[in-house]
Structure 1
């Protein structure tokens, strides 16, 4: 594709560069992952679960999702500690020690029982279980997704309050449009900031009525990834970005399954990079999608799920959505150019992330490599892995 750089990312067991590999200390490392859903079944195994009632067609109690997972991979002792869902991922985060940690928090944090009408699935976690999020020490929780308003605007306001009280920074949702579109700012070690813009599109299932307005709480919403929408986002970035800043556009977009990327999404991502975005952090799909390096900037078209209660749900097995990825992107701090991308595969078992075994790492490397080749990206296993 025109404008693409040839680039090789490494799939590794621990995310750390070996001596001689990207050992320049003058860099910024970002941790990026896909959807973190600590609600529903996950909430029920944590120390302080909320109301388990659901209004789904087939499931009326969130504990049923725990039972489905147990039927596949064995019993889960309840309650588990707050670190349980993250499992081995916490040790990887400690070992890599990224400068900025960004995730998509795909659940409301509320006790509200105002189930959003017209939705088949509703995700909520108890505010008392926020220890299950703070244990990973995220710097920014992106909220512009299709589940954070599952319990109405009262549920959204409670979610925002709960995150603030827990010392967590959110982006992509707010009490009005100005707050929803305001980027989260994370100071960088050498000066400058990481600015995280979070927004979502209708293609991910976000109802247009969830968009924030001047006098209405809601999300930073883009109807579709058009040229006009890209220009609007670029204008927002240009007004906020200062010399030394790195900008991440965290976008909830696209369908749940499949590896193809619509041409409109590709044009949109390229337009953002052309307009001073340094990293495009895409999510919504249940499995990883292609990786591109365009004009030396990282584009993740879909990071896949990270934490959820989908373990016992049948269907789409060919995508191996039990395998999850941690992305560690190292950037030049002044230019925002990508210098190194290391990817650590995990597997969800008993609602806990564990290191993927070598055979699964090799399978996932092959898939991500195959779907990324047309974008000029290759994925290699770390040289000491088999």
Structure 2
């Protein structure tokens, strides 16, 4: 990494459970509690109907496909995703939930293949298999050398940031929060004597101020700060005004990046006072191929978000996004027309993007107000 810049790889939901786990070398129990689908392998069959045969087992790196050589070429300094699955072969299905995700711990090589630095865990699937499944998730990630934030054995651990060392003695601090608007039940909130997630009851000014106070207790001089938040609906482009106000209050107080996720497709991007807000990164890895009903959002298209920050100030220097698509349960490079569709859609929502000669989406800096 250059001493004066910090480039991040950010992604939304990485859902390596259910159908993805079913094709990996060490699949866990396939039984589901869904109304229509009762076996995780059925999601593989749905994908095969539209994309063609999926070999079984696939190598651990299979779901990432073209993302891995792209990341090798683009060379981000820190890699952060929202890991939206329990990593466990144990535990009982959380009662009252219709959809459960788990990846067997013996498939953790699927995560290490992407050389992830941090997994945000505050989301609506990390406790799908209860405290036992959560503890297995934390232990598996720790054993694989992947830091995590947003969930823990108690409230202190859940609220603790992941700290990634940077040159010059600085750090990138990654905090992770989960909101009920994304389907996180209130009883999943970690307490002094109960495992759970770092819970955000509402994105209010008071909540933002409390988070800023917590960050101040951790951040040292020169540290950069990213807040990862699981919020909002799965579908739709509207961003609630309280989400905008919450993000702005955090950035005004010194947070450098707001990394939002939960939506299954990219949502608006904002550059506010030279700092980045991704209101919804969209899914990256999942088993949704072959499921219809939301085709207008082009959910088969995915993005690797690559912001470059000023390492000293946290200001956004550049923003690129690498367009991909999913086929046969793995990521492929998107075509030029698909990349242009994404660039046009993001431009209609807010910040303007163009497609460069390498097929990457590049933000046009001249469109930033002020």
TM-score by length of 2: 0.95
Match of 1:71 in 2: 49
Match of 2:162 in 1: 184
Q: 2:259 aligns with which of 271, 274, 281?
A: 281
Distance 1:166-1:264 versus aligned 2 partners, 3 A rule: same
Q: Could you tell which deviates more after superposition, 186-195 or 37-46?
A: 186-195
Q: Does 1:315 align with 2:277?
A: no
In structure 2, what is the Cα distance between the partners aligned to 1:50 and 1:383?
42
Alignment of 1:141-290 (within 5 A): 141-290=119-268
In structure 1, what is the Cα distance between the partners aligned to 2:2 and 2:28?
46
Q: 1:291 aligns with which of 269, 286, 302?
A: 269
In structure 2, what is the Cα distance between the partners aligned to 1:385 and 1:342?
10
In structure 2, what is the Cα distance between the partners aligned to 1:250 and 1:218?
16
Number of paired residues? 360
In structure 2, what is the Cα distance between the partners aligned to 1:302 and 1:65?
24
Match of 1:380 in 2: 354
In structure 2, what is the Cα distance between the partners aligned to 1:320 and 1:206?
25
In structure 2, what is the Cα distance between the partners aligned to 1:29 and 1:337?
12
What displacement does 1:96 show?
A: 1.4
Distance 1:330-1:237 versus aligned 2 partners, 3 A rule: same
Distance 1:223-1:274 versus aligned 2 partners, 3 A rule: same
In structure 2, what is the Cα distance between the partners aligned to 1:83 and 1:271?
39
CA deviation profile, 1:277-301 (whole Å, cap 9, x unmatched)? 0000000000000110111110000
Higher relative contact order (CA 8 A, sep 6+): 1
Give the unaligned 5+ runs of structure 1: 1-22
Q: Does 1:54 align with 2:44?
A: no
What is the SS of the residue equivalent to 1:102? Answer: strand
Distance 1:29-1:198 versus aligned 2 partners, 3 A rule: same
In structure 2, what is the Cα distance between the partners aligned to 1:239 and 1:73?
49
TM-score by length of 1: 0.91
What displacement does 1:113 show?
A: 3.9
In structure 1, what is the Cα distance between the partners aligned to 2:303 and 2:234?
16
Q: Does the CA-based 8 Å contact 1:99-1:189 persist in structure 2?
A: no
